[in-house]
Amino acid sequence: MPSLVVHYAFVGLLAATLLGAAFDKRSLLLSILVVTFPDVDAFVGLYWQAGHRAATTNLVIPAVLALLIAVDLYVRDDSYIRGRWGAYGVRVSWFCVVVYAVGHVLLDMITGGANLFWPLYDQFYQLSGHLELSSQRGIVQTFVELPEPSSQASGGTGTGGSGGSTTQSMGNSSEVQMSTGIDPNPGQPEPENVDRVFPIARSGWELVVLVVGTLATTARLVIGHDLPEE
């Protein structure tokens, strides 16, 4: 499960590359606040069954946010966002939806799982698998299970195949509780001298994202995106 600092570094990298002229300290700070919010459910889990990676770590919240933004921008006669912040506000608003959905929820989905559609549908999902090009089997992926080509079904060699899906349904919120530094033993009595672990980087790719994202965000803040005058 990626730590908050990994989320921050990843979102900083997205901001530095996607926000363009709207990238500044204010938009970066707002992005950090948005990507922090889903982890509020770590505290919710102390009092409610639908806790970490469910109550606020889902795709329903950014979908509702996107709907509200779309209504304000394209349905109302006088858009509040456009009227107050102009094009800057429009771009940052949509970026916040991306930050929530991609920078936190989907990143959690590939690192331990998330309850993507809670409360509409209570089920944790974890995405794992591989995508490769084989000289014998063609394009092979195991993220999503696809129907077998007829040539393979009849014993032929074929040009591709899924190899079986590794995207997993993990169970609902009554069956899955995620351990956190705030609640190391969810649903269980807390022992004395419990070890509260707050991760920083738990794998090589997380360390790479942390370092590269931090450096890229810092460079964008310091250097900007304008070429120096010759």
- Pick the more confident residue, 189 or 229: 189
Same domain, 135 and 26: no
Same domain, 92 and 201: yes
Same domain, 94 and 34: yes
Do the domain assignments include residue 170?
Answer: no
Distance between alpha carbon 204 and the CA centroid of its chain, in Å? 18
Same domain, 72 and 97: yes
Do the domain assignments include residue 16?
Answer: yes
Name which of 32-41, 80-89, 138-147 the model is least confident about: 138-147
Do the domain assignments include residue 83?
Answer: yes
Same domain, 69 and 11: yes
For the residues 44-62, what does the mean pLDDT come to? 87
Amino acid 230: pLDDT: 58
Same domain, 88 and 193: yes
pTM for the whole structure: 0.84
pLDDT in tens, 55-102: 999 999 999 999 999 999 999 999 999 999 999 999 999 999 999 999
Q: Which domain holds residue 186?
A: 4-114+182-223
Q: 85, 132 in Cβ contact below 8 A?
A: no
Do the domain assignments include residue 219?
Answer: yes
Do the domain assignments include residue 228?
Answer: no
Q: Please tell me the total count of domains within the chain.
A: 2
Amino acid 194: pLDDT: 86
What b/e sequence results for 117-156 when a residue is b if at least 16 CB atoms lie within 10 Å of its CB, and e otherwise? ebeeebbbebbebeeeeeeeeeebbbeeeeeeeeeeeeee
Same domain, 13 and 99: yes
Q: 52, 45 in Cβ contact below 8 A?
A: yes
Same domain, 18 and 107: yes
Q: In angstroms, rounded to a whole number, what is the distance separating the alpha carbons of residues 130 and 123?
A: 23
pLDDT band at 219 (very low <50, low <70, confident <90, very high): very high
SS (H, E, C) 14-27: HHHHHCHHHCCHHH
